[in-house]
Structure 1
Amino acid sequence: EAKKRDHRRIGREMDLFSLQPEGPGFPFWHPRGMVVYNELTKLIREQLERRGYGEVRTPIVLSDELWKRSGHYDHFKDNMYFLEVDERSFAIKPMNCPGTCLVYGHRPRSYRELPVRMAEFSPLHRNELSGTLHGLLRVRLMAQDDAHVYCAPEDLQSEIADMIEMLQQVYPAIGFDPAEVIVKLATKPEKALGDPASWEKAEAALADALRAQGMAFEVNPGEGAFYGPKIEFHVTDALGRTWQCGTIQVDFSMPERFNLSYVGQDGQHHRPVMIHRAILGSFERLIGILIEHHAGRFPVWLAPVQATVLSITEAQGEYAVAVRDRLRAAGVRAEADIRGDKVGSKIRDAILERVPYQLVVGGREMESGQVAVRLLSGEDLGPMAIEDFLARIRHEIDERVA
């Protein structure tokens, strides 16, 4: 079953992405794969707008001085790419957090502005060992639905609660039940930044936030990031394997290292708390997980091609194209297969490409202005008026039915 669901094979059959020897660990995204990528990004962006996040974009290449200041140089150097420019050493960023610290710190901040919520989807590069690379599940180039929130200590609980709520709204759309998500609290690793008191405070804040949400969790000792403890959200796929996707991390160390502050109501300078969070995690990894979880049969809203119109003979070619165009005008990702091949062969191709709806059009359908609707499962829904089909598929797309 695992072989049948291998995302590398299905990705090839669906023409989503390729892995080339010229870029080991650097996936090449094809047009259909980018549809999936962009739909997931859109899902998150809608949540960001609702929740008061601003999107930022910080440079991919930054001076190694920055990485020394952030602590990445000491703790993450072996996983970073370095280059020389004008006799200065630079690194290609493996994470977004130091860049957003510079955005926060570029001008004075007031308590009235807090919390400052920044989201970023920039590409990240990590020098993973070649032996550990595996399709999309372990890569050297990725982007994640990253965000950094700078808040007053008293806002920590409500911000974490908002992040958990966001996760609970997003996961059903991709086919995971939030009630079945395994929650872990990852605590201080051996090599860590900051003093023990800050770590204890951060761990307590995360545990309190989970309890306040009534969420059961287990402790994952020593598995926190070097700059702070984290809540990990693990999903279980169709094969019973668990994958860590979402994370929420509390960080007292980086605001200290970047000397970040805000002026409080008392007119004094105070240190903000920084929360790092991702709901989906790496898009590359998530898409690999989703391909295997759904065996390539994505929910309709996420499918690269949502409906394909298949003509029975060449006589219906023009009608098939007109139906496709009507679907496209209604915001459906549709194709038309008007090759001279037998309709059975066209259906097989559509199944291989995991197209959720196959709309067969013969002489009868053309005369009545209808389509014969067939599901990817093989179920036949029979003839349907185009408007009725549109109402059905638009509901699945608009509601992100999984």
Structure 2
Amino acid sequence: MSAINREPLTAPHRTRNDAVLALGVAVLAVALALMGGEGIPPGHLGWTLLLAGHVPLVWRRHRPVVALLGVVTCVAPYYSLDYNPVLPAPAIVLALYTVAATGAVRRTLLTGVAVVVSTAIGNGVTDSMGALESLEISGWIIAVLFIGIDVRYYRWYVTSIVERAERAERTREEEARYRVAEERLRIARDLHDLLAHSITLIGVQTSVAAHILTADPDRLDRGAVAQALDDIAGTCRTARGELRTTLEVLRAHDTAVAVGAASGYVSGAEDMRGPLPGIDGLAALVETGRVAGAKVELSVRADGIPPPVGAAAYRIVQEALTNAVRHGGREDLTVRVGLWTADGALRVSVRDDGRGGDAGSGGGLGPPDGRPGFGLVGMRERARSVGGTLDAGPRPAEGFEVTAILPLSREDELR
């Protein structure tokens, strides 16, 4: 079966193998000659023609039709001399089978018609009473050709099944790689949203404490310093708790993703993400901005928000508020956060009156040292994850504004 399933035109070492096969068929012809049979035993000329008819079989898979013509060219004079007719039969059968098994059906049929007609004419010339024999020979030729065609179609069917299976396997592997890459991106977004916000607050609170200590050492406000340090400690505790919770969820989730990737299916692992933050947590988020020294105004006019949309809105507000506090550039910074529903979508707006829009930071595009950050990239990815859009840029007068439109009608498509 492996020999039948192997593609004959691309099989390795086919010339060497065909040479061995031609030698084996020639040995079979010699054995049949030693056993005797009907017809005249071949003489020197007969043996020369018989053995020469086996030589083209060496190239039967390189040039099937040419090999068949070579065999027929040597065998036709052999038959005209009325030598034993059985001896060349294996070589002819092998050449006919090769033509049928390697070529198109039209070529096989034309070849079969040519061989049958030439055989009938040859028998008619040499034996006017050999009509029955011609019919029998034609039947054998047609049978060999149909066997070759059948093997060719069987090989094509098996090859198509294997190719479909390989394509399906490649598709599963590509899907698994895509899911793993998508999951890594989601983890990066989660860690960025969590750590960037907390670290920014700690930095602001540390700056406040340092300012109090250095502004007027003779009149040190110990209560203000203690309050600033308590705020730093509280932010650290909150960040540590959130980070621990996030890592626990991600560790369990990544284990499921790894198992799913190995099996080519990982979408079912997405249910292990745990509760998502939503717009209900915006009040606490706004309070952290106020602790950092900004005046934050919150307005929420939205109910029944799907959890994925609420989580995306929460992360967008968190990042926008972090950028405003980090790049606002003024002590009396005011940030206005608004969420409302309109036209089947949740609209998010975060505006500040700071100087981040024209500062070197690029309005929250990155840290003050000029290196590109991931804040706006992460917010746009959050919006796209729920089928929404996000715009961010400096306001006409002053400050920076982030607006997002998050559709509410794709809940069945969200993860």
TM-score by length of 1: 0.21
Higher strand share: 1
The answer to which structure, 1 or 2, has the higher relative contact order (CA under 8 A, 6+ apart) is 1
* Higher Rg: 2
TM-score by length of 2: 0.21
Higher helix share: 2
